[in-house]
């Protein structure tokens, strides 16, 4: 049976016909059907629709045979509401007809944020805190204060404002407006002296150590600058005692001990070499 099939001319004619039909189908699909479906060799240059209203952008894209979709809305004070501020694909790109262009449109409603409290923070920490909330730091003015921290903020804590609002800060200069008298700290232990100075409005800038024999360690011996009155917030340097370490004197050499009881100062070897004396 198989021998009959493979020797029959109609088998080869049919096989050849199937192969030719398949090749012709692939050729037609590649050269005619697919190009017509994908608009082969056709392209549209995307127009620039930014900085115009959404309505104008829609008309322009429709004229170019393109579609559009609004994918995002952002607040930008440089543009009116409902203006296109971004597009994808960008202008001058070549795309297929009927391609969808994605638009970002300016929104009229701006995001709101709650102002954090930055009073008593350092200037640096206050700036970071405000920036993290999407706010801007405005002017920085200084007033007399014993601490270098934020004294006031122009927008109170807890106020709801538009994102990007400006907050002005008033910062302490670290120096008070009144003069204070330094307390009696000579002879006090360091922790007690620091507490008294802090209560007075003064700060300890540095601590120097001085070895002292007859003083308990960490006792205040002196301070500088040497004056009785300071401006509130000023810093002083304290000199305190530390343990006095006694250095041992270096030995001058080995000490020779004569176990023979020789007190004459003559080396024993010399005595051994003396001639014997007759009685």
Q: Residue 135 and residue 153: Cα distance in Å, rounded?
A: 12
Answer yes or no: do 73 and 18 share one domain.
no
Average of pLDDT values for 180-190? 91
Answer yes or no: do 165 and 133 share one domain.
yes
Domain assignment present for 270? no
Average of pLDDT values for 20-39? 68
Domain assignment present for 146? yes
Answer yes or no: do 49 and 82 share one domain.
yes
Residue 111: band (very low, low, confident or very high) from pLDDT cuts 50, 70, 90: confident
Average of pLDDT values for 183-197? 92
> Which of 24-33, 82-91, 209-218, 257-266 is predicted with the least confidence, judged by mean pLDDT?
257-266
Tokens found for residue 171: 């910062």
Q: Residue 93 and residue 251: Cα distance in Å, rounded?
A: 94
Closest CA to 51 of 109, 103, 110: 103
Residue 38: band (very low, low, confident or very high) from pLDDT cuts 50, 70, 90: low
Q: Give the per-residue pLDDT at 205.
A: 86
Q: Pick from 106, 125, 144: which residue ends a domain?
A: 106
Residue 30: band (very low, low, confident or very high) from pLDDT cuts 50, 70, 90: low
**pTM above the 0.75 mark?**
no
Q: Residue 106 and residue 36: Cα distance in Å, rounded?
A: 38
Answer yes or no: do 224 and 196 share one domain.
yes
Closest CA to 101 of 139, 126, 55, 69: 69
Spell out where the chain has E strands: 44-45, 67-74, 84-88, 94-95, 100-106, 112-114, 136-143, 150-153, 160-162, 166-172, 179-181, 203-212, 220-224, 229-231, 235-243
| Residue 4 scores a pLDDT above 60 | no
Q: Give the per-residue pLDDT at 11.
A: 63
Environment class of 100 (CB within 10 Å of its CB; exposed 0-12, middle 13-18, buried 19+): middle
Average of pLDDT values for 181-197? 92
Residue 256: band (very low, low, confident or very high) from pLDDT cuts 50, 70, 90: very low
| Contact of 235 with 268, CB cutoff 8 Å | no
Q: Give the per-residue pLDDT at 36.
A: 59
Average of pLDDT values for 9-14? 68
Average of pLDDT values for 77-85? 87
Average of pLDDT values for 79-100? 92
Residues present in the chain in total:
279
Q: Give the per-residue pLDDT at 8.
A: 63
> Which of 85-94, 189-198, 227-236, 266-275 is predicted with the least confidence, judged by mean pLDDT?
266-275
Q: What is the CATH number of the domain that holds 139?
A: 3.30.10.20
Answer yes or no: do 60 and 28 share one domain.
no
Answer yes or no: do 238 and 216 share one domain.
yes
Domain assignment present for 66? yes
- 192 compared with 110, residue with greater pLDDT: 192
70 DSSP β-pair partners: 103
Q: Give the per-residue pLDDT at 263.
A: 43
Answer yes or no: do 50 and 81 share one domain.
yes
Answer yes or no: do 75 and 126 share one domain.
no
Mean of the per-residue pLDDT values of the chain: 81
Domain assignment present for 161? yes
Domain extent for 30: 2-38
Domain assignment present for 221? yes
Domain assignment present for 249? no
How many domains is the chain partitioned into structurally? Answer: 4
Domain assignment present for 55? yes
Q: Give the per-residue pLDDT at 101.
A: 96
């Amino acid at each position: 049976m198989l021998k009959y099939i493979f020797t029959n001319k109609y088998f080869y004619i049919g096989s050849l016909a199937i192969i030719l039909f398949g090749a012709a189908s692939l050729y037609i699909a590649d050269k005619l059907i697919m190009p017509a479906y994908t608009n082969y060799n056709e392209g549209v240059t995307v127009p620039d629709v930014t900085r115009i209203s959404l309505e104008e952008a829609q008309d322009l894209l429709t004229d170019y045979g393109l579609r559009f979709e609004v994918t995002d809305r952002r607040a930008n004070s440089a543009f009116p509401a409902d203006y296109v501020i971004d597009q994808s694909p960008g202008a001058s790109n070549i795309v297929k007809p009927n391609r969808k262009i994605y638009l970002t449109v300016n929104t009229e409603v701006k995001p709101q944020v709650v102002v954090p409290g930055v009073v008593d923070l350092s200037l640096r920490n206050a700036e970071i805190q405000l920036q993290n909330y999407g706010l801007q730091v405005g002017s920085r003015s200084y007033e007399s204060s014993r601490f270098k921290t934020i004294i006031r903020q122009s927008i109170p804590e807890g106020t709801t404002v538009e994102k990007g609002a400006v907050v002005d800060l008033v910062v302490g200069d670290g120096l008070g407006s009144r003069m204070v008298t330094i307390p009696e700290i000579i002879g006090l232990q360091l922790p007690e002296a620091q507490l008294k100075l802090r209560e007075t409005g003064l700060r300890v800038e540095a601590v120097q150590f001085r070895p002292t024999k007859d003083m308990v360690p960490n006792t205040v011996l002196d301070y500088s600058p040497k004056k009785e009155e300071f401006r509130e917030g000023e810093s002083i340097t304290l000199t305190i005692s530390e343990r006095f370490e006694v250095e041992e004197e270096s030995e001058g050499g080995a000490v020779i001990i004569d176990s023979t009881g020789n007190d004459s100062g003559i080396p024993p070897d010399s005595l051994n070499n003396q001639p014997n004396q007759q009685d």
